């Protein structure tokens, strides 16, 4: 069974495979009986009670000492795990796992069909328990997607967006809408301001930039209270980003570079710079596909996508061993395994991001496998769960609202079948997703109950014959 519970100010929609219900606007809801992982690296709360009302958590405790308000809707989740909604700190909502970027954008008519694929990605993320995400690189068509998600018109996570990335190196085969090409620090500053004015929540800097370029971007972004995320691999670029006070380091340690030296690791760790490695698309996706190529033919994907898009995606996997994306996979896998452990052992400030849906790296499962890869690399399950929730909320700059389950925060949580502290892989067993967004219009808006019911039933999945 799988359920989505979406709070839209005062409208609650929930459903199972065979039923739907609308809870009264004034009715508190109590989740009762689960093992609670609250997002901190602390001991779980067993036989827990979590009560939320009008989208806000109002009480957290155990069954024996947490009174439940009279008239509350009680949802018994005994034997399950309750934890904060997952936050993916590196996604691409324009991608759905296609094997070749150049061919993919040609098929889409550059960006003409992005409006068709982005809702697919958004729905898949929410269904996988991802309630918030940072998109790093989708053109500004994503603003329309976010508007529709906020309005309750389509299902999806909260989106923090960068828009196009800033670079000195053009990426062949990528539509120009994805890149802001600069030739000087002055131009970098101008383009950063333009991105912010167009709606960017964060700034992404890509390849070929100098320390002065980074500094120009950071200065403008920080004047507007905006963080800068850097696409980084090489030690020289990493050192330049450190010197320029770049806020978040993306990809470091997940490619073909040899292991980093101890001094560089210490600089990153001691400066508490968030590290989002995106390692599973190197050390998990390819070997997992070699071992089980059947994973590429997931019937869920077929139901998610229009027929022509699904056919194109499947055809792109033909002879996937030869895809250009995986030309150096042997070296990348060996080195990224070492580098991942380096950052963990150095005590770096670790976030969790997936780079989904890069080739073969689907939104339907990417976050789960990234968390599993980090555990394989040396993090404990409670560390990686906290990184994927609390730390990522801090990276978002939304820790006051998200990332942990405690009174005053948004009702934003997932129910897992199993104990992820024993086996992190059970994170894949998402049974209930609760997401609330205070920006969505209230029940006085023209949005009808039928609209909310449609949205809920549109994303249902499970084991029955009606499963998606």
Q: Identify the DSSP state of 260.
A: P
CATH number of 3-85+403-458: 2.30.40.10
pTM: 0.91
pLDDT for the residue 353: 98
Contact at 8 Å (CB) between 182 and 169? no
- Which residue, 360, 452, 436, 447, is CA-closest to 84? 436
Alpha carbon 319 to its chain centroid, in Å, reads 29
| Radius of gyration of the CA atoms of the chain, in A | 22
pLDDT of residue 253: 83
Contact (Cβ atoms closer than 8 angstroms) between residue 352 and residue 388 = yes
The pLDDT value recorded for residue 467 is 30
pLDDT for 219-229, tens place per residue? Answer: 999 999 999 99
Coil, strand, or helix at residue 447? Answer: coil
For the residues of 19-47, what is the DSSP string, one character each? -EEEE-TT--EEEESPEE--SSSS--BSS
pLDDT score at 251: 94
- What is the CATH number assigned to the segment(s) 89-396? 3.20.20.140
pLDDT of residue 3: 56
- Residue 209 is given by DSSP the state -
How far are the Cα atoms of 258, 274, 315, 334 from residue 261, in angstroms, in the given order? 9, 18, 42, 17
Q: By the 8 A CB rule, do 135 and 162 touch?
A: yes
CA distances from 76 to 24, 30, 31, 63, 141 (A): 18, 8, 6, 11, 41
Secondary structure letter of residue 387 according to DSSP: I
Splitting the chain (468 residues) into consecutive groups of 10 residues, what average pLDDT does each group show?
47 34 66 98 98 95 95 96 99 97 96 96 97 97 95 94 97 93 98 98 97 99 98 95 98 86 96 95 89 96 97 96 90 86 95 97 96 96 99 98 98 97 97 79 35 32 30
CA distance 15 to 22: 9
Q: What is the pLDDT of residues 258-281, one digit of tens each?
A: 889 999 999 999 999 999 999 998
Confidence at residue 5, expressed as pLDDT on a 0 to 100 scale? 54
Apex CA 51: angle with CA 45 and CA 55, to 5°? 125
pLDDT tens per residue across span 355-395 = 999 999 999 999 999 999 999 999 999 999 999 999 999 99
Coil, strand, or helix at residue 466? coil
Whole-number Å distance between alpha carbons of 143 and 66: 42
Q: Where are the domains of the chain?
A: 3-85+403-458, 89-396
How confident is the model at residue 459, as a pLDDT?
Answer: 33
């Amino acid at each position: 069974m799988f359920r989505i519970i979406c709070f839209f100010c005062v409208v609650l929609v929930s459903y199972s495979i065979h039923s739907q219900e609308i809870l009264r606007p004034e009715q508190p809801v109590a989740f009762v009986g689960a093992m609670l992982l609250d997002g901190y690296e602390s001991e779980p709360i067993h036989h827990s009670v979590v009560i939320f009302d009008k989208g806000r958590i109002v009480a957290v405790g155990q069954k024996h000492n947490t009174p439940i308000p009279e008239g509350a809707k009680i949802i018994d989740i005994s034997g399950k795990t309750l934890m904060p909604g997952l936050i993916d700190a590196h996604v691409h909502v324009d991608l759905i796992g296609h094997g070749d970027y150049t061919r993919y954008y040609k098929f889409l008519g550059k960006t003409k069909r992005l409006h068709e694929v982005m809702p697919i990605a958004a729905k898949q993320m929410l269904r996988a328990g991802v309630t918030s995400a940072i998109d790093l690189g989708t053109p500004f068509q994503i603003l329309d997607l976010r508007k529709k998600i906020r309005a309750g018109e389509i299902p999806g996570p909260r989106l923090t967006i960068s828009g196009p990335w800033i670079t000195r190196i053009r990426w062949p085969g990528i539509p120009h809408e994805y890149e802001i090409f600069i030739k000087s620090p002055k131009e970098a500053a101008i383009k950063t301001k333009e991105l912010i004015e167009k709606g960017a929540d964060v700034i992404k800097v890509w390849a070929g930039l100098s320390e002065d370029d980074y500094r120009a971007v950071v200065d403008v972004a920080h004047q507007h209270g905006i963080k800068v995320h850097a696409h980084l691999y090489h030690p020289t670029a990493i050192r330049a980003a450190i010197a320029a006070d770049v806020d978040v380091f993306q990809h470091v340690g997940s490619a073909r570079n040899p292991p980093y030296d101890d001094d560089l690791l210490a600089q990153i760790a001691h400066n508490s710079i968030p590290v989002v490695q995106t390692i599973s698309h190197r050390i998990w996706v390819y070997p997992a596909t070699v071992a089980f190529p059947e994973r590429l033919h997931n019937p869920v994907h077929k139901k998610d996508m229009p027929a022509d898009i699904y056919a194109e995606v499947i055809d792109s996997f033909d002879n996937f061993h030869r895809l250009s994306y995986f030309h150096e996979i042997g070296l990348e896998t060996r080195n990224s395994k070492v580098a991942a452990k380096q950052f963990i052992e150095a005590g770096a400030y670790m976030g969790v991001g997936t780079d989904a849906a890069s080739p073969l790296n689907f939104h339907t499962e990417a976050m789960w496998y990234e968390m599993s890869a980090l555990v394989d690399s040396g993090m404990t399950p409670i560390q990686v769960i906290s990184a994927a929730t609390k730390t990522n909320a801090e990276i978002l700059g939304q820790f006051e609202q998200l990332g942990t389950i405690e009174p005053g925060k948004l009702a934003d949580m997932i129910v897992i079948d199993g104990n992820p502290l024993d086996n992190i892989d059970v994170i894949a067993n998402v049974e209930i997703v609760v997401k609330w967004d205070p920006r969505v219009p209230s029940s006085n808006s023209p949005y009808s109950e039928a609209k909310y019911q449609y949205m809920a039933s549109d994303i249902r999945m499970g084991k029955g014959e009606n499963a998606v």
